Each structure stands twice: as structure tokens, then as C-alpha cells.
Amino acid sequence: MDKIAVLIPCYNESKTIVKVVEDFKRVIPEAVIYVYDNNSNDGTDELARSAGAVVRYEYQQGKGNVIRRMFREIDAECYIMTDGDDTYPAESAPEMIKQVLEHGADMVVGDRLSSTYFQENTRPFHNFGNSLVRKSINLFFHTDIKDIMTGYRAFSYQFVKSFPVLSKGFEIETEMSIHAADKNMQVDNVIIEYRDRPEGSVSKLNTYSDGFKVLRTIARLYRTYKPMSFFGIIAFILAALGVGFLIPVLVVYAKTGMVPNFPTLFACCFTILAATQAFFSGLILQTIGQKNRQDFEMELQAIEERKKRLDKE
């Protein structure tokens, strides 16, 4: 088991990967630097290897797929995840590592938004999207993560080995944040200096398509992790519609003893029935979710025992 592992997912980062590897080797010389190449065609893998990194490959395209492979294959007491585009300073890594190894943090977030991100990043929709995602997740999941979309993070062994990676692309950071919030893991924020990509380095993130995927991921995970709230909202809306259209029918019936609009009556009854089903669906799924959280706590104990065995070996 490594003491510290630096994980760098890469796709066509030949302009910057050597500097990134050398910076982390200089700042944390005791760490093992892993570069996972994701079908690069510009020689990123050879450059990383020449700089002293351990190079491995993931052939399914997408950042989420790369991180899944990393988390499965590497055992370490502390993990640092960064990008290969030289936008995150290696100098912040020791503080993030300290939060994991000495303060028991499960995930440490490299917070760009509280420092230089909005000055360095010149893409306004990126800035708007980051703020929207952060506010949405902190509101829906009752947490206080300062930067949801950052690619600079530190993790404990327990987090890495208990995190079920489902996302395939850039929405993986959103999934990590929501998982940590739902499972009541200790999340710390460390403010970092952000710098935009150097000239000649091209972002792989598409503002609109990847932004839509992130918002869809938030909705999907909200349904999964907060089923009572999700289905409760649906139940409330359906019930309000059903009762709203039913009241005029009842008023006419009270005055005349007749129901002139049977289609409206039937529609209202079915709508109220659907609201009832949504409510009880949320209630059942909430109970299942509570049992899953209990099982997760037991799984953490098993992971801790496995970590102790690896330490002895």
C-alpha cells in the first residue's frame, strides 16, 4: 500500500503533463505519481513516463471511467486527485494531505471559487454553471461544500473503496460531492489558487452538453438519496392539481345535487390517487435508503479492517 498516491487522469495533455508530474514530485517526493491515459494520441503517456510517473491505461472514454479504474487498482492511505492541465498548484497538496491523515477527513475539496477562479476563468457560462451547481447541491443535500466541480481533491482509503462510481464523464465530481454529503462523511475545504490553462492546452469540458449531464446527475441522485423529498414534491403537485379541479365539481354538486362534469371528476380522482402512490413510494424508498445507510456503516468497518491488513503486509 502506498502512503500517498497522486492520481492524474489524462486525455491529450502533452503540453502540461511533464510540468504537473515534476511539480508533484518536487512538493511531495514521497508520493507515487500515477498517470492514467485515456486514449491520448499526442504522446501524453510517454511524456508522463519520462517525467517519472507510473503510467497506466483506461480505454473506455470519459473521466468517470478513468477514476473508476484508478480507485479499483490503487491502494493508498491518502489519495490526491488532480488534472493534467496544470490548473491546480501542487503546493496546496500538503495541506490537503494533512486534513486526511491527521484530521480524519474523508474528502478534501480544493476550493477554487473562493480564490482566483472567477478572475482566471474567462468562460462566463462555466462560472455561472459552477455557482448554480454549488448552490443547488448545498440546498438540496444540506451541506457546505465550497466547490462542487473542482478536479483537485484528496481522499481517504475508506472513501475511495466505498464510493460506487456510476458516472462516465465530467459529472463524476458532482457524484462524489453528493455521495459524501449523503453518507455523512467528513468533508473539508482548502482554498487553492487556480490558474487558467496555458496557451495551446484545450479544455475537454463542453459547457452545454456536460453542464446538462451534471444537472441531470443532480436530479437523479436527489431522487436516489432523497426519495421522500423527491416523490413528496410530486405528490404535493398532483394533490394540489387534483383538489384544485375537484373543488368546483363539489361546489356544483352541493348546490344542485348533480355532477355535470364526470370527466373532470374522474381525472381529479385519478390524480389524487397518483399523488397517494407517489407519497407512499417515497416513504418506502426512504425506509430502504435508511437500511442502505446502515449497511454502508458496516461496510466501512470491513474496509477499515482490510486497510489494517494491507498495512501489515
pLDDT digits (tens, 9 = 90+) for 117-143: 655 555 555 566 667 777 888 888 888
Domain 2-225 coded CATH 3.90.550.10: yes
Q: Which residues lie below 8 Å from residue 257, measured CB to CB, with a gap of 6+?
A: none
Mean pLDDT over 166-192 rounds to 88
pLDDT tens profile 50-84: 999 999 999 999 999 999 999 999 999 999 999 99
Domain range list for the chain: 2-225, 227-312
Answer yes or no: is pLDDT of 30 > 80.
yes
Query: What's the number of CA atoms in the CB half-sphere (13 Å) around residue 286?
Result: 13
> What are 36's strand-pairing partners?
9, 56
Residue 282: predicted pLDDT: 93
Whole-number mean pLDDT of the chain? 87
Answer yes or no: is pLDDT of 296 > 70.
yes
> What are 153's strand-pairing partners?
81, 109
pTM, full prediction: 0.79
Answer yes or no: is pLDDT of 195 > 80.
no
Residue 218: predicted pLDDT: 83
Cα 91 to chain centroid distance, Å, stands at 24
- Asked if residues 285 and 231 have their Cβ atoms less than 8 Å apart, the reply is yes
Mean pLDDT over 281-308 rounds to 86
Residue 231: predicted pLDDT: 94
Catalogue the E-assigned strands of the chain.
2-10, 32-37, 54-57, 76-81, 107-111, 153-156, 187-191
Catalogue the E-assigned strands of 173-302.
187-191
Q: Between 262 and 107, whose confidence is greater? A: 107
Mean pLDDT over 232-241 rounds to 95
